[in-house]
Structure 1
Amino acid sequence: MFLAAADNAAWCRAVCRLHGAPGRLGPRAWTSGRRTPPLYPDAVTLSPDAVAADVLAGIDTEAAGASVKDSFARLDLAPHGFDMLFEAQWIHRPAHPPAPAPSSDASGGPVWREADGPEEFARWLHAWGDGDGSGPLTPGLLADPAVTVLGGWTAGPGDGGGPVAGVIAHRGEGVAAVGLSNLFAADGCTADAAWAGAVAAVSARFPGLPLVGYEHGPDLAAALRHGFAPAGPLRVWLAR
């Protein structure tokens, strides 16, 4: 749980930094005094000892859409004007020898590789669901050495094809794990095929490191089918 929360805070910070909101990293929470981009919290707790003041003092609680990721499901922010948006589970997959990523040559499925430049990243975003590229993820992520954008592609580089599955792998500084986020399946690719390909592709690039993240609902069930185990609850709170 601690590894997953630490990497997730670093990932949120990486995305928010590209939007001019790098925030402040403290001993018990990461917080941003500026509103963060959509889908990204204004604070992430890093310790089960964090209290409401650790997050509320560092964010703009009056801003529409202000949110807090309560990494250890310990906070009660209802008296402070927040409603619980959802609950989820941190997930952890121990390090395993990397399995070969699915290959179109062998199975007819997608080939997993990194997005090659802004044009392929734009196609990755479109497949993920950001049709016009106005969402929180920007091409600046490609220049971040801690970030690897992977897609399961049905066509080769430069031929106009797009991914039918994808994932972002993030290695936070000083964190002995790789965080997975934004995992998706599209255009007829099944969730199980996307999880299998993503796990194999990320494990091949980061051998010897466990994989972490968080999920809920059907995505949590898919993760558990592919070697992950629940590592503890979290909550996301949204200002009224």
Structure 2
Amino acid sequence: MTNRRYARILPGSSKAEAKMTSEMLRAAVRNNALWCNSVCQAQGVPGEFSATLWLHRQGTPPFYPDVITLTGAGSAREQEEAIAVLIRSRKGGWGVKDSYAALTLTPLGFEILFEAEWIGIEAVEIHAPKEQSLTWKRITTAVELELWERAWGAGEPPQTTPIFAEPLLRNADIAFLAAFESEALCGGGILNRQSHVVGHSNVFAIKKRDRAIRAGLVQKAAEIFPGMPIVGYEHGDDLSDALELGFTSLGPLRVWGSPERLTEM
């Protein structure tokens, strides 16, 4: 049955459309924070949620932020003050996902690592990709997960501790997927169903198959979690590819890092 929480509004109702976009944006932000918390929880150290922030006091795995803002500009001052207190609580680097691009963290010693756009697509707008040459497999064992992470992280320094722990595989709302062509791994991604949407992330492709991998991943999301909107965030060429597939831009975000964290995110 189609999830109508974010059902398309009829053309000509701009205020309603803006409201629906805003609702999907909030769901995308919440979904991403819940996903980051799931990654940390699988390692035995979950983060904390407040009304305006998700945060992790002990330090997160590489590529994952220590703080995610859950609300927009109206909470920016409160969030900046909370972050100022947090960064004094332990030494080392901090990463902040500024979900609404609303913070000014330069005075605290942060630099903008990159800017991106939240994206979303309604379930009814998802269509089967024209190219059907890929075979998809859901990762189900620790050995498969280790191989998947190694392929996803190709080109990055090897991690002493895996980022993705085995308990994630036992969560029915999370799916690690690998794509194969002629039995050779050529890409993959992660799906997570939380906050009434399906987040897609960690998309990777081998041999310049980026567009085909994303199209296939979105189709798999529609099969595994039918009727659910799909959200995520991208920038650069990946954003262009997503928009060509039918995703809509929901709003900007920034990722900030303190100097000690710049090489980790």
Bin for the TM-score computed over the shorter chain: 0.7 to 0.9
- What is the aligned length? 228
Q: Which has the higher helix share?
A: 2
d(CA) in 2 for partners of 1:42, 1:190: 31
Does the alignment pair 1:144 with 2:168? no
| Counterpart Cα distance in 1 of 2:202 and 2:115 | 17
> What is the alpha-carbon distance in structure 2 between the residues aligned to residue 53 and residue 210 of structure 1?
34
Q: Which residue of 1 is the match for residue 96 of structure 2?
A: 68
1:126 aligns with 2:146: no
Of 62, 71, 74, which residue of structure 2 is paired with 1:47?
Answer: 71
1:238/1:210 CA distance change after superposition, 3 Å: same
SS of 1:96's partner is helix
Gaps of 5+ in 1: 156-160
TM-score, structure 1 normalization = 0.86
1:123-148 superposed Cα distances (whole Å, 9 cap, x missing partner): 22222125856442233321223211
Mapped contact 2:177–2:190 kept (Cα < 8 A):
yes
Identical pairs, percent: 36
Contact 1:38 1:135 in 2 (8 A): no
Structure 2, unpaired ranges of 5+: 1-24, 260-265
Amino acid at match of 2:47: G
Question: Under a length normalisation based on structure 2, what TM-score does the superposition of the two structures give?
Answer: 0.78
CA contact (8 A) 2:146 2:162 kept: no
Confirm or deny: 8 A CA contact 2:42 2:166 kept in the other structure.
no
CA distance in 1, matches of 2:44, 2:110: 25
Q: 2:39 aligns with which of 4, 15, 27?
A: 15
Aligned-partner residue type, residue 80 of structure 1:
L
- 2-structure distance, mates of 1:228, 1:61: 39
Between the aligned partners of 1:101 and 1:115, the Cα distance in structure 2 is 22
Residues 151-191 of structure 1 show CA distances to partners (whole Å, capped at 9, x for unaligned) of: 11236xxxxx553121100112xx111000101111x2511
Match of 2:203 in 1: 183
1:41·1:68 contact (CA, 8 Å) conserved in 2?
A: yes
Q: Of 85, 94, 99, which aligns to 2:122?
A: 94
Structure 2 CA distance for aligned equivalents of residues 102 and 60 of structure 1: 52
State the shift of 1:63 in Å: 3.3
Q: Distance in 2 between matches of 1:110 and 1:32?
A: 38
Once superposed, what is the RMSD of the aligned Cα atoms?
A: 2.2
CA distance in 1, matches of 2:68, 2:244: 27
Alignment of 1:1-240 (within 5 A): 1-48=25-72, 49-50=74-75, 51-58=79-86, 62-96=90-124, 99-100=127-128, 107=132, 109-130=133-154, 134-154=161-181, 161=183, 163-172=185-194, 175-186=195-206, 188=207, 190-240=209-259
- Structure 2: distance between partners of 1:171 and 1:202: 9
Give the SS at the match of 2:124. coil
